[in-house]
């Protein structure tokens, strides 16, 4: 079973994504902030990380840099999930090797299709 870490400071959105992806057969772990996500990646291996950009304390970019500083996490596909439809952020995401950039609100089918495409 593929394991996915979802990082977002909105608990309702975390629960929604968990419901969508659990129904697709994925093992979902949730973190509400960057520090929690880093701790989880130190203890577990993940096949994909879905990361919000705008979070309190530590934003998604800082969190990704910390997670990828650990050699075992360098190649984990990361999907950015954000309410910012910003071309500069998208460009930066490509430069950082981000797999995809999804703008909120999104449809469940879109999220599932992006994840399924990564696993092909």
Q: What is the pLDDT of residues 21-52, one digit of tens each?
A: 999 999 999 999 999 999 999 999 999 999 99
**Would the pLDDT of 90 be above 90?**
no
Other CB atoms within 10 Å distance of the CB of residue 65: 12
Q: Output the CA torsion sign for 58, 62, 63, 67.
A: negative
**Would the pLDDT of 84 be above 90?**
no
Under a CB-based contact definition with an 8 Å cutoff, are residues 106 and 79 in contact?
Answer: no
Q: How far apart are CA 6 and CA 18, in angstroms?
A: 8
pLDDT band at 85 (very low <50, low <70, confident <90, very high): low
Query: What pLDDT does 89 receive?
Result: 72
Residue-by-residue DSSP string for 33-63: SHHHHHHHHHH---SEEEEES--SSS-HHHH
Q: Render pLDDT for 5-26 as a digit per residue (tens, 0 to 9).
A: 999 999 999 999 999 999 999 9
- Domains annotated on the chain, with CATH: 3-114 (3.40.50.2300)
Dihedral, CA atoms, 8, 96, 67, 69, nearest 10 degrees?
-160
Instruction: Tell me the whole-structure pTM to 2 decimals.
Output: 0.93
Q: Render pLDDT for 44-78 as a digit per residue (tens, 0 to 9).
A: 999 999 999 989 889 999 999 999 999 999 999 99
For residue 37, give the nearest of 63, 62, 61 by alpha carbon.
63
């Amino acid at each position: 079973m593929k394991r996915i870490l979802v990082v977002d400071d909105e608990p309702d959105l975390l629960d929604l994504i968990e419901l969508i992806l659990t129904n697709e057969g994925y093992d979902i772990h949730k973190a509400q902030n960057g520090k929690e996500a880093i701790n989880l990646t130190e203890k577990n291996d993940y096949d994909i990380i879905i990361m919000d950009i705008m979070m309190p304390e530590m934003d998604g970019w800082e969190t990704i840099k910390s997670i990828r500083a650990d050699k075992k996490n360098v190649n984990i596909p990361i999907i950015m999930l954000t309410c910012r439809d910003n071309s500069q952020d998208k460009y930066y995401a490509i430069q950082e090797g981000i797999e995809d950039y999804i703008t909120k609100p999104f449809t469940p089918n879109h999220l599932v299709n992006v994840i399924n495409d990564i696993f092909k």
